[in-house]
Amino acid sequence: MAAQDNLAKRTKFKVILNGMPLGFSKVSNISATMEFETVPEGGVNDRVHYLPKPRQSMDKLILEYGIASGELTRTTLTAGYELKKGIVIMVMPESGMVPTATYQANWGIVTKWEIDTLDAISSGLLIKKVEISHNGLTETINKFGI
């Protein structure tokens, strides 16, 4: 099997918020950042040390979905809603049940939501974007290629 056959597709994924699986059309801003401070060593001019800075801000995750009438599962995703049970994003293979990659945060809070512009001329879907600030994502890659 060629290595290209094992590459993960970005079209099949699962999102679990507060222990509840929810469907989303798009997830963006999956990233982790860490800031460092350079500290020169006393009496030595040929090297510096990199020390992690205390976290000044939280990372943000953006989830998008189409609004449907009668839907109750995502109505709690309003500003200030706390995700005490965390966030799990699983990138799934085309076939099989074992995730190719998993991204997790232990805690998050909805900091912003917005809907697309209402347009009487357009026939597109009404999309809602939810921004979740979190305490950092951890990444787990499936090494077995199942």
Q: Which amino acid is at 3?
A: A
Would 129 be classed as within a structural domain?
yes
Q: Give residue-wise pLDDT tens across range 76-90.
A: 788 999 999 999 999
Structural domain includes residue 108: yes
Q: Read off the CATH number of the domain in which 72 is found.
A: 2.30.110.20
Q: Within a domain: residue 24?
A: yes
Question: The tokens 């706390």 sit on which residue?
Answer: 82
Task: Report if residue 146 sits inside a domain.
Answer: no
Domains held by the chain: number: 1
CA 7 vs CA 91, 92, 137: distances in Å = 11, 11, 21
Distance in angstroms (rounded) separating the CA atoms of residues 26 and 16: 14
CA-closest candidate to residue 135, choices 101, 102, 87: 87
* Domain that includes residue 95, residue range: 3-141
Give pLDDT tens digits for 90-133: 999 888 788 989 999 999 999 999 999 998 998 888 899 999 99
Residue 50, domain member (yes or no): yes
Per the CB < 8 A criterion, the answer to whether 62 and 29 are in contact is yes
Tokens of 14: 């699962």
pTM: 0.81
